[in-house]
């Protein structure tokens, strides 16, 4: 990200499309969803300076209205370190409008970040793709702050994000990060407020409903009423599970079919990819809790997990205790973002320091193990060569 003082453009270059086209050129598409696209544009005179532009899907009135709602929401919410900042918006952008402008986050969303981490591990010839504990702790830390700001922040108005998921969390290298490696303690920023709602519903407003992504959905009863802040907490838990265990945080297909059979309801065939991808069946598969502090074998045997990282190691009990609080079945009893900010954030800060020290030690052990393996391979090769000489 570029600080405001270093940006080679001003608001006048963004808020009018004619000025924008004179100053910016197309770079590449960053992402595409059902509601629209996000595209990178570079400053023509300084191509290294890039900006992200979000526009609604062409021809979709609903997508356009959602983006207008997002603009209004971001204007009211204001700035926060753990929320992607809207730099400006343009009402006459072409070929579709409006457009919202954001800084480009160098590490993409959470899925892209995870891919970058795995690529780095492959280059290091590491057998483990498990995300470091410090990264999971930092994600929970940053999202606790973001949700507290939304739920209890500006003007005493409670905003519910209503679609928290890995694709809606952007990742940025910290300012002090040096080198080309993927940082293990990045900055996480909540984004995409197109489905956000106010709780309770303002007088004279039409009551809203939960409209997020099924794989991160709260329990069915919670989806029926006006979204409360507790739905964001549940979705945060589901996002952590997806991030840490590299799995969809829902019932496995086998478990879903077993449950449907038991009550005499219909179900799709296990290999019917089209059916499983339909909204109907996606909505019916429940998001389920799976612990982070147990082995891969226990997860597969006792927690309906088809598979996860082949070299998965349990995370700490301390991390799992905070994570488990997010999955209370009772939305009223579920931990709140205010509680997380007051108690979890300070504790997570201390846990991050401990996890970083442990990671340094573990990294040394892994390097030593890799060297030993390389030495053994070399010895085997030398023995084979000697045997050839004898023959």
Q: Which of 238, 110, 286 is nearest to 186 (CA)?
A: 110
3-state DSSP helix/strand/coil % of the chain, to nearest 5: 50, 15, 40
Would the pTM count as exceeding 0.85? yes
- Residue 4's pLDDT is 56
Answer whether 345's CB lies under 8 Å from 144's CB: yes
179 sits in the region (left: phi over 0; alpha: psi -120 to 50; else beta) called left
Place of tokens 């809790």: 289
Domains contained in the chain, CATH given: 4-103 (3.30.200.20), 110-250+286-366 (1.10.510.10)
State how far the Cα of 369 lies from the Cα of 364, in Å rounded to an integer: 9
- Residue 8's pLDDT is 77
- Residue 3's pLDDT is 56
For residue 41, report the phi and psi dihedrals to the nearest 5 degrees: -125, 145
Q: Which of 159, 7, 164 is nearest to 77 (CA)?
A: 159
Walk along the chain (391 residues) in steps of 10 and give the mean pLDDT of each run. 66 93 94 88 92 93 93 93 96 95 95 96 87 97 98 89 97 89 96 94 85 96 95 99 96 97 97 96 98 95 86 93 98 97 96 88 63 61 65 61
- Residue 2's pLDDT is 53
156 sits in the region (left: phi over 0; alpha: psi -120 to 50; else beta) called left
Kindly tell me the burial class for residue 280, based on how many C-beta atoms sit within 10 Å of its own C-beta (0-12, 13-18, 19 or more): exposed
SS in 3 state form for 343-390? HHHHHHHHHHHHHHHHHHHHHHHHHHHHHHHHHHHHHHHHHHHHHHHH
């Amino acid at each position: 990200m570029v600080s405001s003082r270093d940006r080679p453009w001003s608001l006048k270059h963004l808020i009018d499309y004619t000025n924008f086209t004179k100053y910016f050129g197309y770079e590449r598409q960053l992402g595409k969803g059902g509601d629209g696209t996000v595209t990178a544009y570079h400053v023509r005179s300084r191509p290294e300076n890039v900006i992200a532009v979000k526009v609604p899907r062409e021809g979709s009135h609903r997508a356009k209205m959602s983006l207008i709602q997002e603009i209004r929401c971001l204007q009211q919410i204001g700035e926060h370190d753990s929320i992607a900042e809207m730099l400006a918006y343009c009402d006459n952008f072409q070929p579709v409008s409006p457009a919202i402008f954001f800084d480009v986050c160098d590490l993409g969303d959470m899925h892209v970040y995870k891919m970058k981490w795995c690529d780095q591990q492959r280059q290091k010839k590491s057998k483990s793709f498990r995300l470091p504990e410090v990264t999971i702790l930092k994600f929970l830390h940053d999202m606790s702050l973001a949700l507290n700001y939304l739920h209890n922040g500006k003007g005493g108005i409670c905003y519910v994000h209503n679609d928290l998921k890995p694709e809606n969390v952007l990742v940025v290298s910290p300012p002090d990060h040096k080198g080309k490696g993927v940082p293990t303690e990045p900055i996480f920023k909540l984004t995409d407020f197109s489905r956000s709602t106010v709780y309770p519903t303002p007088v004279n407003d039409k009551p809203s409903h939960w409209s997020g992504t099924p794989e991160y959905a709260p329990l069915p009863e919670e989806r029926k009423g006006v979204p409360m802040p507790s739905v964001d907490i549940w979705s945060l838990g589901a996002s952590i599970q997806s991030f840490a265990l590299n799995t969809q945080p829902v019932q496995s297909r086998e478990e879903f079919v077993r449950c449907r059979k038991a009550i005499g309801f219909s179900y799709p065939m296990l290999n019917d990819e089209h059916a499983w991808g339909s909204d109907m069946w996606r909505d019916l598969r429940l998001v389920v809790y799976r612990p982070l502090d147990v082995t891969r074998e226990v997860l597969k045997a006792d927690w309906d997990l088809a598979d996860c990282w082949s070299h998965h190691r349990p995370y700490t009990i301390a991390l799992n205790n905070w994570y488990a609080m997010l999955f209370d079945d009772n939305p009223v009893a579920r931990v709140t973002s205010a509680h997380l900010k007051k108690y979890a954030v300070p504790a997570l800060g201390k846990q991050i320091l401990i996890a970083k020290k442990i990671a340094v030690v573990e990294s040394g052990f892994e390097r030593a193990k890799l060297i030993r393996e390389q030495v053994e391979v070399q010895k085997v090769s030398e023995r084979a060569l000697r045997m050839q000489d004898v023959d």
